[in-house]
């Protein structure tokens, strides 16, 4: 975020930060409670992920808009108020339009308000940056969170139920009933993946996988840099 400024905002970096380098679920390990609790199927994960993204975008933009008028002493209560009202709006809208999904996600929709990823972005980014860059940050932090939720949900659903996209109609309407894919016929199910231990184990494996990829890429970059001395000057 060092090279972000009024004139030449580095949107590419913000996007890459949100999706990978600073991913709220993988790297900052924020918002683990909803992440672990509702990632038992793809659709649940997607539902909660999108609701969180929407909250992040809205709260980030509002916090950024008022950033010059809020005294630093009271900024946290103001952020909390903004986030709480955003979540209330989203909760009521989900209750109206995605009622069944709302019932399944239950307490975790109002609990988005306590997701520390949101207040962390308000404090660390939105209160110091312009509205457009806060919008991009909120959007991609949210999408990064959603991506982890969906991946973990897919892992747990495949291992736990042997299906993918079950109950897709909760999000995409009746037409989506056929989306559900049964990967293994006659699968007994693996209860552990659905239960909380499966969430912890699954997230552990995903983070390990990300670290392996990062290490390989680092080694690769180092290799390139060592090979061509000129590249070092360019990169530094």
Positions in the binding site for another protein (CB under 8 A): 188, 190-192, 195, 197, 201
Residues 120, 144 contacting (CB under 8 angstroms): no
Smallest distance, Å, CB 194 to another protein? 9
Nearer to another protein, 73 or 186 (CB): 186
Smallest distance, Å, CB 160 to another protein? 9
Nearest to 60 by CA among 124, 143, 8: 124
Cα 9 from chain centroid (whole Å): 22
Smallest distance, Å, CB 163 to another protein? 17
User: 74-89 as b/e, with b when 16 or more CB fall inside 10 Å?
Assistant: ebeebbbebbbebbee
Give the pairing type, strands 181-182 and 163-164. antiparallel
Residues 56, 90 contacting (CB under 8 angstroms): no
Cα 80 from chain centroid (whole Å): 19
Nearer to another protein, 172 or 190 (CB): 190
Nearer to another protein, 183 or 192 (CB): 192
Smallest distance, Å, CB 192 to another protein? 4
Nearer to another protein, 65 or 194 (CB): 194
Smallest distance, Å, CB 219 to another protein? 16
Nearer to another protein, 197 or 209 (CB): 197
Contacts of 154 (CB under 8 A, 6+ apart): 42, 45, 164
Smallest distance, Å, CB 34 to another protein? 22
What stretches of the chain adopt beta strand conformation (E)? Answer: 163-164, 181-182
Nearer to another protein, 213 or 224 (CB): 213
């Amino acid at each position: 975020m060092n090279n972000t400024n009024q004139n030449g905002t580095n949107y590419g970096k913000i996007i890459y930060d949100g999706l990978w380098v600073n991913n709220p679920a993988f790297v900052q390990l924020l918002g683990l409670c909803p992440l672990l609790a509702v990632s038992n199927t793809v659709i649940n994960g997607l539902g909660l992920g999108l609701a969180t993204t929407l909250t992040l975008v809205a709260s980030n933009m509002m916090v950024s808009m008022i950033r010059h008028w809020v005294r630093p002493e009271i900024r946290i209560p103001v952020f909390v108020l903004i986030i709480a009202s955003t979540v209330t709006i989203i909760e009521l809208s989900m209750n109206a339009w995605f009622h069944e999904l709302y019932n399944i996600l239950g307490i975790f929709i109002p609990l988005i308000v306590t997701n520390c990823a949101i207040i962390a972005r308000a404090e660390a980014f939105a209160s110091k940056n312009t509205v457009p860059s806060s919008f991009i940050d909120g959007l991609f932090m949210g999408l990064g969170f959603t991506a982890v939720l969906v991946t973990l949900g897919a892992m747990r659903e495949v291992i736990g139920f042997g299906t993918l996209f079950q109950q897709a109609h909760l999000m995409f309407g009746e037409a989506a009933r056929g989306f559900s894919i049964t990967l293994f016929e006659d699968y007994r199910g693996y209860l552990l993946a659905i239960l909380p231990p499966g969430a912890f184990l699954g997230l552990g494996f995903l983070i390990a996988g990300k670290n392996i990829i990062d290490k390989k890429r680092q080694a690769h970059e180092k290799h390139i840099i060592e090979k061509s001395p000129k590249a070092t000057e360019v990169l530094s």
